Protein backbone atom coordinates (compact mmCIF):
# COMPACT_ATOMS: atom_id res chain seq x y z
CA UNK A 1 0.00 0.00 0.00
CA UNK A 2 2.83 2.38 0.87
CA UNK A 3 4.52 1.71 -2.49
CA UNK A 4 1.27 2.52 -4.29
CA UNK A 5 0.95 5.84 -2.47
CA UNK A 6 4.57 6.70 -3.28
CA UNK A 7 4.01 5.91 -6.95
CA UNK A 8 0.87 8.04 -7.05
CA UNK A 9 2.68 10.98 -5.45
CA UNK A 10 5.55 10.71 -7.92
CA UNK A 11 3.11 10.46 -10.80
CA UNK A 12 1.20 13.50 -9.58
CA UNK A 13 4.40 15.53 -9.18
CA UNK A 14 5.62 14.55 -12.63
CA UNK A 15 2.44 15.92 -14.18
CA UNK A 16 2.24 19.10 -12.11
CA UNK A 17 5.91 20.12 -12.15
CA UNK A 18 7.56 20.35 -15.51
CA UNK A 19 11.30 19.80 -15.62
CA UNK A 20 11.91 23.23 -17.16
CA UNK A 21 10.10 24.92 -14.29
CA UNK A 22 12.10 23.01 -11.70
CA UNK A 23 15.41 23.74 -13.45
CA UNK A 24 14.45 27.42 -13.76
CA UNK A 25 13.68 27.65 -10.04
CA UNK A 26 17.00 26.02 -9.18
CA UNK A 27 18.90 28.51 -11.35
CA UNK A 28 17.01 31.48 -9.89
CA UNK A 29 17.90 30.33 -6.40
CA UNK A 30 21.51 29.81 -7.45
CA UNK A 31 21.78 33.25 -9.00
CA UNK A 32 20.46 35.02 -5.90
CA UNK A 33 22.67 32.95 -3.63
CA UNK A 34 25.67 33.85 -5.79
CA UNK A 35 24.79 37.54 -5.78
CA UNK A 36 24.42 37.59 -1.99
CA UNK A 37 27.73 35.75 -1.50
CA UNK A 38 29.61 38.09 -3.84
CA UNK A 39 28.23 41.19 -2.10
CA UNK A 40 29.12 39.73 1.30
CA UNK A 41 32.69 38.91 0.23
CA UNK A 42 33.19 42.40 -1.23
CA UNK A 43 31.85 43.97 1.98
CA UNK A 44 34.23 41.86 4.10
CA UNK A 45 37.19 42.81 1.90
CA UNK A 46 36.34 46.53 2.13
CA UNK A 47 35.91 46.25 5.90
CA UNK A 48 39.23 44.41 6.30
CA UNK A 49 41.08 46.94 4.15
CA UNK A 50 39.63 49.87 6.09
CA UNK A 51 40.71 48.24 9.36
CA UNK A 52 44.19 47.44 8.00
CA UNK A 53 44.84 50.96 6.75
CA UNK A 54 43.27 52.74 9.72
CA UNK A 55 40.11 53.95 8.07
CA UNK A 56 37.98 56.25 10.21
CA UNK A 57 40.81 57.63 12.37
CA UNK A 58 41.29 61.38 12.46
pLDDT digits (tens, 9 = 90+) for 7-29: 888 877 777 766 677 777 778 88
Please say if the pLDDT value at position 58 is more than 60: no
- Whether pTM exceeds 0.85: no
What is the C-alpha to C-alpha distance for residues 31 and 49, in angstroms, rounded to an integer?
27
What is the C-alpha to C-alpha distance for residues 5 and 49, in angstroms, rounded to an integer?
58
Mind listing the pLDDT tens digit for each residue in 35-55? 898 999 999 999 999 988 886
What is the C-alpha to C-alpha distance for residues 38 and 23, in angstroms, rounded to an integer?
22
In this structure, are residues 56 and 50 in contact, taking their beta carbons and an 8 Å threshold? Answer: yes
Say which residues have a Cβ less than 8 Å from residue 56's Cβ, sequence separation at least 6.
Answer: 50
Task: Work out the end-to-end distance of the chain between its first and last CA atoms, rounded to an integer number of angstroms.
Answer: 75
Q: Where are the domains of the chain?
A: 17-53
Amino acid sequence: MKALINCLVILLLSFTLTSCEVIGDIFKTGVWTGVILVVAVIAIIIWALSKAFGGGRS
